[in-house]
Amino acid sequence: MKKNSTAFQPKPKRRTTGSGNKEIKYLTAPKIVKRQKKYCRFKKNGIKYIDYKETEFLLKFVNEQGKLLPRRLSGNSLKYQRKVAEAIKRARQLALMPYVTDLLK
């Protein structure tokens, strides 16, 4: 009994281009990009109190429309994100910051 040796060998996929040339295409590994680690700027700088009267500082935590930036974008810890939100709401209530606007920054 004679066995066919080519029956069990895997063949690479061949793709033909428009000109008829046959090339062997292999999958390449995806490039891994290391992202910069997020940090809480309040913990890093040792800030304990967030003053609602410092509107220029609080503007870093709102977007162009005046909405609060989420934690995943600002990088704040939960404790300081709540303090920032409270300070921004207090500044809005005292008319130091606008509630809603176009092109705030």
> How do residues 32-75 score in pLDDT, each as one tens digit?
777 777 789 999 999 999 999 999 999 999 998 999 999 999 89
Q: Say if residue 93's pLDDT is above 90.
A: yes
Average pLDDT of the chain is 82
CATH number, domain with residue 88: 4.10.640.10
CB 36 within 8 A of CB 24: no
Query: Which of 25-34, 47-56, 78-87 shows the lowest per-residue confidence on average (mean pLDDT)?
Result: 25-34
Q: Say if residue 105's pLDDT is above 80.
A: no
Total tally of structural domains belonging to the chain: 1
**Residue 52 maps to a domain:** yes
- Cα–Cα distances (Å) from 67 to 9, 42, 75, 79, 99, in that order, read 61, 20, 16, 19, 8
